[in-house]
Structure 1
Amino acid sequence: MPTAIIADDEDLQRSDLRRMLQIVWPELEIIADCEDGGDALDAIVRLQPDIAFLDIRMPELSGLDVARASDGKCRIVFTTAYDNHAIEAFKLGAVDYLLKPITEERLRHCSLRMQEQTKAGAMPADLLQIMSALDQRLREPAESERIRWISASSGNTIKLFPIEEVLFFESDLRYTRVVSASDEGHIRTSIKELQKGLAPEQFWQIHRSIMVNPHAIARARRDEMGNIFVELKNHSEQLKVSQTYAWRFKSM
């Protein structure tokens, strides 16, 4: 029997999708319900499903992050509330999408397509490139909405950082560090919120709490335990790369 996981941070959405899948594809076994991206990625690695139904917007790791980190281990179907204009980004052949609210008719069509692809066996060879293209299309802010300057506090002082001079952002539970070659400050904006105002590839997320300016990277190295660390051109700190984002340095 083919197997699948469902990942969505809304209980009702997961249960509705499970119910409709039982109707349109009764042979499909749902082997995991996941509430966030981290659980979804863990389920893909541990259970090796044939298909993953991934919500685009989930806490910590988005559906795009999970699909990219899974590196072709299963077929991907995205569930999304994006409008029809943004849906053009999905028409790349190797992945499918379900626009919320999901209809039984659209799910039936998607299920038939997944059944055909599962029988064919071959996985798309260019999944990482597809994920990068989707990421760029779906996350690109309007020109007027892009962040140009960061106002960050340092003690009683407010400092202005041109966005292109920021080397990296690092978040904890309360603040996000804004670090340049010669200075730093703190803001209350989370990594997830910052991403909404940044141009695609302007900063790379390399950890759930770290984004780095790729132009600031001097090199990446592996230690004896296989962990990847990023060394910067104009700063002494080394930034650890989590396994979720190790795909950026896959050639190492």
Structure 2
Amino acid sequence: MTRPTALIADDEPLLRERLRSHLARVWPELEVVAEARNGREAVELFDTHAPQVVFLDVHMPGLNGIDAARSIARRAHVVFVTAYEQYAVQAFEQGAIDYVVKPFDEPRLADTVQRLRERLAQASPPPAGSLDAVIDQLSLELRQRAGARAYLQWIKASVGASVRLIPVEQVAYLRADEKYTLVAWDGGEALIRKTIRELADELDPERFAQVHRSVIVNLHQVAQVNRGPNETAEIALKGRKEMLPVSRSFVHVFRQM
């Protein structure tokens, strides 16, 4: 029989190693095919390796475990790893998603493994019933714990010999361009030295969304989304001719709109 496969995502190398060690004892036939340091890397490695189970740390820099789960959901069995047992415990207990608490407790992990084994043996897809509700509840609790956050209001860019302060609401999209990022806004285009990853962490997620590993789009500027093959899409922007790609890892953004 083919060995079950898993991906572990946690920004702490020691905690990844501890979880791997615990899993080796309680689920020796499991093959950990990849380890990720953050949510974006988890999504990319998931698309590459397609593991059956994904262990996602809730708190990770950049794209957190909740947002990564939105992309991975229903394509694998998701287990959240958290240091806060109070996170959506009732929702977890509905069985849509499982969770384990740090520091790891092997009996609790063994219970999770048993449920995963049963689901894999039945070849059943990840339960869809309350999956979105669990993710939404976790996302809300994370925002409440984080409190109000000040997001980027201006982008400073060099335009010719001058420095321009571009209001973020005027930005149509941002696209990675080798070592720079191209900013396209109502007044033209400019290159800045910040990376797409840095900008994704600094921009308001209610207005901006990453739709490709190299593209962030202003959702208020989206005129139309055209579905493509293999769960991809293209975006048409208001008043612009260019089309922006949406990769399958980020197409979930537009399912929620």
TM-score range for the pair, normalised by the shorter chain length: 0.7 to 0.9
Alignment check: 8 A CA contact 2:200 2:216 kept: no
User: Of 172, 181, 185, which residue of structure 1 is paired with 2:186?
Assistant: 181
Cross-structure match for 1:92: 91
Within 5 Å, give how 1:196-211 maps onto structure 2. Answer: 196-211=201-216
**CA 1:104–1:243 in 2, change beyond 3 Å: closer, same or farther?**
same
1:187 Cα deviation after fit: 2.2
User: Is 1:53 matched with 2:68?
Assistant: no
The runs of 5 or more residues in structure 2 that have no matched partner are none
Alignment check: 8 A CA contact 2:23 2:30 kept: no
**CA 1:165–1:129 in 2, change beyond 3 Å: closer, same or farther?**
farther
1:222 Cα deviation after fit: 4.2
Alignment check: 8 A CA contact 1:221 1:230 kept: yes
Alignment check: 8 A CA contact 2:62 2:200 kept: no
Alignment check: 8 A CA contact 1:34 1:40 kept: no
Alignment coverage as a number of residue pairs? 243
Cross-structure match for 1:30: 31
User: Of 224, 228, 234, which residue of structure 1 is paired with 2:233?
Assistant: 228
Cross-structure match for 2:128: 124
1:214 Cα deviation after fit: 1.1
Cα distance in 1 for residues equivalent to 2:219 and 2:178: 24
Cα distance in 2 for residues equivalent to 1:236 and 1:91: 48
TM-score, length of structure 1 as denominator length:
0.75
TM-score, length of structure 2 as denominator length:
0.73
Within 5 Å, give how 1:1-252 maps onto structure 2. Answer: 3-8=4-9, 12-26=14-28, 29-30=30-31, 32-35=33-36, 36-37=41-42, 38-44=44-50, 49=52, 51-56=53-58, 63-80=65-82, 84=84, 88=87, 92-93=91-92, 94-108=96-110, 110-111=112-113, 114=116, 121=124, 123-128=127-132, 130-131=134-135, 134-135=138-139, 138=142, 142-222=147-227, 228-249=233-254
1:216 Cα deviation after fit: 0.4
Counting aligned pairs with the same residue, the percent is: 32
Cα distance in 2 for residues equivalent to 1:57 and 1:116: 28
1:169 Cα deviation after fit: 1.3
Alignment check: 8 A CA contact 1:24 1:111 kept: yes
Residue type at the aligned position of 2:23 = L
1:25-48 CA-partner distances (Å, limit 9, x unpaired):
45x52352334421223322xx5x
The runs of 5 or more residues in structure 1 that have no matched partner are none
